[in-house]
């Protein structure tokens, strides 16, 4: 992964394209979160209904905290303990930000801040958030290598970045929607981060 790769990724997303890119878990698809045509293409490539939620990925924790400035102090502190990492956090979204990523529940938003180390480290230079979802057909297997991505998806994107083999386990999904008031949370899907690690952090 080079600076030129990162610049190409940013140009693709800014131009309402769809990019295939590596994260700290599996390969994903990315588009601008406020570009309806690009989001529609992304969902169409996956064969996924548009009313299902995706997530918004930030490439630095500070960017997420700045964009979600209306989070309560307890939830904000939880983000600082959990991220960056292989987690998708479902957060309160009273301002209804990024509605194209929220599916039917615009008052909740899935947020990712990946841990970008080693070959992936240049991606931390990406400044704008993206709407992202795993680079597989809906219900299909997650891709840990670019060659594992369905041919129809690879042909349909505007840019594909190859970072070799990734860990291959998707993010753990944690619902923090009620965390601010009482500290409750739910693990909706155990993935790359064990439940025990989430419990310890929270």
Q: Which CA distances in Å does 12 have to 45, 115, 121?
A: 16, 22, 19
Q: What is the pLDDT of residues 80-113, one digit of tens each?
A: 999 999 999 999 999 999 999 999 889 999 999 9
pLDDT at 100: 96
Quick one: pLDDT at residue 113?
A: 98
The Cα–Cα gap between 59 and 21 comes to 13
HSE at residue 160, side-chain half, CA atoms within 13 A, is: 17
Q: What percent of the chain has pLDDT over 70?
A: 100
Provide the CA 40 distance to its chain's centre, in angstroms.
16
Q: Per the structure, how many domains does the chain have? A: 1
pLDDT in tens, 126-153: 999 999 999 999 888 999 999 999 999 9
And the tokens for 140?
Answer: 């299909």
The string of DSSP codes covering the chain is: --HHHHHHHHHHHHTT--EEEE-SSSEEEEE-TT-HHHHHHHHHHHT--TTS--EEE-SSHHHHHHHTTTS-HHHHHHHHHH-SSSEEEEEE-TT--SHHHHTT-TTEEEEE-----GGGGGGGG--S-EEEEESS-TTSPPPSSGGGS-HHHHHH-SEE---S-----PPEEEE-TTTTTT---EEEE--SS-HHHHHHH-
Q: What is the CATH number of the domain that holds 33?
A: 3.90.870.10
Contacts of 85 (CB under 8 A, 6+ apart): 24, 113, 114, 115, 193
Enclosing domain of residue 81: 3-201
d(CA 71, CA 79): 10
8 pLDDT more than 90 = yes
The model's confidence at residue 18, banded by pLDDT at 50, 70 and 90, is very high
pLDDT band at 14 (very low <50, low <70, confident <90, very high): very high
Give per-residue pLDDT as tens, 58-77: 999 999 999 999 999 999 99
**Confidence class for position 179, pLDDT limits 50, 70, 90:** very high
Q: What is the pLDDT of residue 128?
A: 96
Per-residue pLDDT band for 21 (boundaries 50, 70, 90) equals very high
Q: What is the predicted pLDDT for the residue at 139?
A: 84
Beta-carbon contacts of residue 9 (< 8 Å; ≥ 6 apart): 19, 21, 30, 123, 126, 159, 161
Q: What is the mean pLDDT of the chain?
A: 96
Q: Is the pLDDT of residue 50 over 90?
A: no
4 contacts: CB under 8 Å, gap ≥ 6: none
């Amino acid at each position: 992964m080079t600076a030129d790769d990162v610049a190409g990724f940013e140009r693709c997303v800014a131009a309402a394209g769809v990019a295939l890119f590596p994260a700290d878990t599996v390969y994903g698809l990315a588009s601008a979160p406020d570009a309806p045509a690009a989001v529609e293409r992304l969902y169409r490539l996956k064969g996924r209904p548009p009313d299902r939620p995706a997530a918004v990925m930030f490439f630095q924790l500070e960017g997420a905290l700045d964009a979600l400035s209306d989070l309560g102090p307890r939830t904000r502190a939880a983000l600082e303990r959990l991220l960056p990492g292989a987690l998708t956090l479902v957060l309160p979204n009273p301002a209804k930000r990024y509605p194209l990523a929220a599916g039917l529940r615009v008052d909740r938003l899935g947020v990712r801040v990946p841990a970008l180390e080693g070959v992936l480290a240049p991606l931390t230079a990406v400044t704008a958030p993206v709407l992202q979802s795993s680079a597989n057909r809906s219900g299909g297997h997650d891709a840990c290598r670019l060659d594992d991505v369905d041919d129809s998806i690879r042909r349909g994107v505007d840019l594909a970045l190859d970072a070799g083999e990734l860990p291959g386990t998707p993010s753990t999904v944690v619902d923090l929607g009620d965390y601010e008031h009482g500290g409750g949370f739910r693990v909706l899907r155990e993935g790359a981060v064990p439940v025990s690690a989430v419990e310890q952090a929270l």
